[in-house]
Amino acid sequence: MNISRINKKLNARFNGNVHATLSDGSIVLTGRLNKWSDVVSACQLAATKYSTTHVVNDIVCDEAKDKPMRVPSLKDDALEGRHPDVLIIGGGISGVSIARELSKWDIDILLVEKEADLALQASGRNDGEVHPGVDLSKGSKKHYYIRKGNEMYGKVCEELDVPFKRVGQYVGFMDSYLKPFVALYCLYRKYHDGISDTKLISSEELKKHESNLSGDFKFAISNPSSGCVCPYGLTIAYAENAVANGAEVALNTAVLSMDVENGEIKSVLTNRGRIYPTVVINAAGVFAEEIARMAGDRFFSIHPRRGTNSILDKKAGAFMHSIASIKEFKKTNTHSKGGGILNTVHENLLVGPDAVETFEKENTETNPESIKAVFAKQKKTMPGLSERDIITYFTGVRAPTFEEDFIIENGRKTNNLIHCAGIQSPGLTTAPAVALDIEKMAVAKLERTKAVMPNKNYSPIRHGVPVLNEMSDEERSKLIKENPDYGVIVCRCEEISKGEILDALNSPICVPTVDGIKKRIRPGMGRCQGGFCSPLVSQIIADYLGVDISEVKKSSEESVVTFGRTK
């Protein structure tokens, strides 16, 4: 690593305000800059894509005021003195998939998540695409795991009773002269990089598949292995299966500090007590760097990146049935896939995301400029796209490293630590395969001090709540006869019954909030976005809990829905 060359570039760009040193195998940047965009540029200048020599950002930024991590208001001693074999920090797709794979073993597994539910951050705020990997080159961990993860999805979703569709992906091009170059690119990806389903198709063939895409497309790259899944639904299903197999999930539980001695984490302090784990797995998303710092093993930095998606009404879903986007050759954010249009597993269209660098790790507000920019681009993909069909939108914050690759490795200084960090797109796709490797790493660490035996009662099968709107009339009638609550429709848009809501409340991980029920079985996901059904859902939750409706929350303890009765 040529530090002098890096410093020469930094000096030329930032007038001596930033300096790089090599420390413990990482490139550490120090200095002071006014704008966060300049900090990101400096770190990217020092980084090498997919390198395992990571950039650590210690630049002081005047624009980026440090905001403390949100900590739950809950404080108790429910976890005081717990001695789990494995402590997993983070309840996103990475953490829960690891918990499920580890539950194959007869060990004590505790997963802590600081939010009031699972998948409230990046894992529940993405487009749900199962990527083919056509844009990934050999040499990265993303490439290593992408095909393995993609190929596992059919089996995993069948076991976990989660809807999954292989809808195919098309990337369209409007310039005929590019065709021979793109043809060579497809051959390279197919035969060199192992993305075996990559092929070039004509505009005529594209029209046969998707008649409403732009007539200006001259050809397209096709990847039939691309698919879509409900990202938060899969996350919850993974966690429920882990719990059914003996793991414990503690929500509203934030890691506050750690005691580390001689390269070993001795204890972990949370707002719910001090925990004494044998092995710690860092799957903390945008806060993975902070967890690494607490553990004395910080050798990388996370630079948060916002992405905004819009959800369109189901009537728009009838116009396109796959995943499509336009490829434009102009100066853009090269670390973004650029967004696209996706037909979701629930038959909506999803449009996005964009990619905007930010220093705010927990700011998920949506800016109108993001929606405007995404639609301006994707209307070139499908001219009939209309903002008038938007029923909701959301923003997620991703957690990339400056090397734009995953960190799947043991702690470099801390012996009982495993990192699953830097997870951004295609992290949803790769999660099943990554979890298998981290399972092996954790078991190997445990076997240094104890015998690790298989869980004789392990089952990979999880049965979800019955979905009445997908059943035949005969199947529904039979269920309603068995339980009349299935005949009481609460959400007219999504045709969700009272029986399904009660099933969700009785699931292995009960989250009795309006959003918790919404994420599990979709009341409030339709055109009216809960305008009609949310009071009914709130009352069902209140009756279930035996409390007044004013005590029911939207998502967390702080998210009050009602303040009392008016009559």
Catalytic sites, residue numbers: 131
Q: Do the beta carbons of residue 214 and residue 383 sit within 8 Å?
A: yes
| Amino acid present at 464 | G
Q: Among 155, 96, 102, which Cα is nearest to 124's?
A: 96
| CA angle centred on 279, ends 275 and 282, rounded to 5° | 90
Q: How far apart are CA 148 and CA 271, in angstroms?
A: 37
Other beta carbons less than 10 A from residue 536's beta carbon = 18
Q: How far apart are CA 383 and CA 218, in angstroms?
A: 15
Other beta carbons less than 10 A from residue 518's beta carbon = 24
Q: How far apart are CA 127 and CA 429, in angstroms?
A: 11
Residue 496 has which token pair? 């969700």
Residue 157 has which token pair? 């979703």
Q: Do the beta carbons of residue 119 and residue 235 sit within 8 Å?
A: yes
How many Å separate Cα 354 from the centre of its chain?
15
Q: How far apart are CA 223 and CA 413, in angstroms?
A: 41
Q: What is the SS3 assignment for 97?
A: helix
At 43, give phi and psi (nearest 5°).
-70, -35
Q: What is the SS3 assignment for 301?
A: coil
- Look up residue 470 and give its DSSP letter: G
- Which whole-number Å values give the CA distances from 486 to 385, 480, 496, in the listed order? 36, 5, 9
Residue 197 has which token pair? 């389903």
Q: What is the SS3 assignment for 341?
A: strand
Contacts of 200 (CB under 8 A, 6+ apart): 179, 182, 183, 186, 219, 220, 221, 222
Residue given tokens 């390279």 in the structure block: 188
Q: Which residues of 71-88 are buried (b: 16+ CB within 10 A; e: fewer)?
A: ebeeeeeebeebebbbbb
- Look up residue 367 and give its DSSP letter: P
Residue given tokens 């990806």 in the structure block: 189
Residue 196 has which token pair? 């075996």
Q: Among 151, 123, 130, which Cα is nearest to 323's?
A: 130
Q: What is the SS3 assignment for 515?
A: helix
Q: Among 12, 47, 10, 45, which Cα is nearest to 31's?
A: 10
| Amino acid present at 335 | H
Half-sphere exposure (Cβ direction) of 377: Cα atoms closer than 13 Å? 23
H and E: helices and strands count for the chain: 15, 26
